[in-house]
C-alpha cells in the first residue's frame, strides 16, 4: 500500500443543490503526508467536520464548505490520501448525486503513487455508536468490510442490505455510482435535478431509474466511506451499520479518531 495523489490539476463544475448556484472545484496534486485540504486551510479532518441536515460539511473559522461527502468518498475509495481542493462557492457540485463523476474526474487526472505508506488504523476492541434503533458496530479485522442494512417501511425503498470488502475494485464497481435519495422536505432542490423525481405519495425523492435494486443502501455505505476520509488513515475493521445516518457516521469517526 502506498500514499497517492493525482498526476495533474483538473477542474469540474456543476449545480450546487443546497444553495442552488453553480459551483466549481479544482483538484491539484499534493505532496506525501499532506492529507486532503480544501481552499488552502480547511483540512479534511474529523475535528473540522459538521453535519447540517443531511449533508457533511467542513469548516475553518467562519468559512464553510458543504456537501463534501461524495467527493471524499471517491478519494477514500481510490486511495487518494493527498489532494488540494479549491472550491468556488459554498458547496461541492451535486453532479449526479453519487461519487461516480468524481471517480471519473480523478481517473482523468491520473493517479500518482508515492513511496510513503499511508497511516493505518487497526482496532484493538469492538466499538459501537447508537441512537434509538440505529447503530454502527466495528470489530477488529485485517481489512475493511461493511455490512449495511436500511429499512424504510413507509416507502418503496423498503428494507435493503449490502455487504462486502471495501477495496478499490469494489468501491468503483459496487458503490461509486449509487445515488443519494431523501425526503422532499429536506432536499427541495433535488426535485429540480434530472433524472430525479418525487414519489409524491411518500414525499421521497429518488432516482427515476435505479442503477441497482438496492441503490439506497449502497449509497448509505458510500456516505460512511466519505466520513472515513476524515480519519487520514486507512481503517481496518469489520463494520455492521444499521440505519446509519450522517450524524451517526460523524459520531462513529469521532470515536475512532479518539482511540
Q: Is 246 helix (H, G, I), strand (E, B) or coil?
A: helix
Dihedral sign for Cα atoms in the order 180, 58, 228, 6 = positive
123, 113 Cβ separation under 8 angstroms: no
Contact pick of 49, 223, 232, 256 for Zn ion (by CB under 5 A): 223
Nearer to Zn ion, 91 or 223 (CB): 223
- The whole-angstrom separation of Cα 257 and Cα 68 is 19
Query: How many residues touch Zn ion (CB under 5 A)?
Result: 2
Residues 139, 127: Cα–Cα separation, whole Å: 7
CA angle centred on 227, ends 212 and 242, rounded to 5°: 55
Annotated catalytic, 246? yes
Cβ proximity to Zn ion, 215 vs 223, nearer residue: 223
Only segment of 39-47, 170-178, 215-223, 250-258 that touches Zn ion (CB under 5 A) = 215-223
- Give the one residue of 23, 180, 214, 244 binding Zn ion; rule: CB under 5 A: 180
The residues near 170 (Cβ < 8 Å, ≥ 6 apart) are: 164
Point out which span in 8-16, 56-64, 120-128, 175-183 binds Zn ion (CB under 5 A).
175-183
Stretch that binds Zn ion, among 12-20, 42-50, 220-228, 236-244 (CB under 5 A): 220-228
Report the nearest approach of Zn ion to the CB of residue 180 (Å): 4
Nearer to Zn ion, 4 or 227 (CB): 227
DSSP string of 93-113?
--TTSSSHHHHHHHHHH-EEE
Binding status of residue 215 toward Zn ion by CB under 5 A: no
Nearer to Zn ion, 72 or 109 (CB): 72
Query: Of 27 and 74, which has the nearer Cβ to Zn ion?
Result: 74
Part of the chain binding Zn ion (CB under 5 A), chosen from 30-38, 45-53, 88-96, 179-187 = 179-187
CB 145 within 8 A of CB 163: yes
Residue of 219, 227, 246, 250 marked active site: 246
Burial class (CB in 10 A: 0-12, 13-18, 19+), 31: exposed
Kindly report the length of the chain: 259
Residues designated as active site: 246
The contact set with Zn ion (CB under 5 A) reads 180, 223
Amino acid at each position: 500500500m502506498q500514499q497517492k495523489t493525482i498526476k495533474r490539476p483538473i477542474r469540474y463544475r456543476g449545480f450546487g443543490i443546497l444553495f442552488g448556484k453553480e459551483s466549481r472545484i479544482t483538484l491539484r496534486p499534493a505532496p506525501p503526508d499532506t492529507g486532503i485540504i480544501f481552499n488552502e486551510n480547511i483540512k479534511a479532518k474529523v475535528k473540522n467536520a459538521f453535519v447540517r441536515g443531511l449533508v457533511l460539511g467542513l469548516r475553518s473559522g467562519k468559512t464553510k464548505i458543504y456537501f463534501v461527502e461524495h467527493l471524499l468518498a471517491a478519494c477514500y475509495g481510490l486511495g487518494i490520501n493527498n489532494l488540494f481542493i479549491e472550491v468556488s462557492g459554498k458547496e461541492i457540485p451535486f453532479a449526479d448525486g453519487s461519487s461516480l463523476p468524481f471517480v471519473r474526474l480523478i481517473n482523468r487526472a491520473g493517479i500518482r503513487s508515492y513511496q510513503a505508506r499511508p497511516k493505518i488504523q487497526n482496532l484493538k476492541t469492538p466499538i459501537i455508536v447508537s441512537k434509538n434503533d440505529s447503530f454502527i458496530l466495528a470489530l477488529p479485522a485485517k481489512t475493511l468490510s461493511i455490512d449495511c442494512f436500511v429499512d424504510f417501511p413507509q416507502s418503496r425503498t423498503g428494507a435493503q442490505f449490502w455487504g462486502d470488502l471495501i477495496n478499490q475494485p469494489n468501491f468503483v464497481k459496487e458503490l461509486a455510482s449509487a445515488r443519494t435519495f431523501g425526503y422532499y422536505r429536506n432536499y427541495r432542490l433535488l426535485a429540480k435535478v434530472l433524472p430525479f423525481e418525487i414519489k409524491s405519495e411518500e414525499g421521497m425523492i429518488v432516482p427515476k431509474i435505479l442503477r441497482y435494486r438496492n441503490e439506497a443502501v449502497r449509497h448509505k455505505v458510500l456516505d460512511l466511506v466519505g466520513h472515513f476520509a476524515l480519519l487520514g488513515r486507512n481503517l481496518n475493521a469489520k463494520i455492521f451499520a444499521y440505519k446509519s445516518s450522517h450524524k451517526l457516521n460523524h459520531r462513529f469517526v469521532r470515536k475512532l479518531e479518539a482511540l
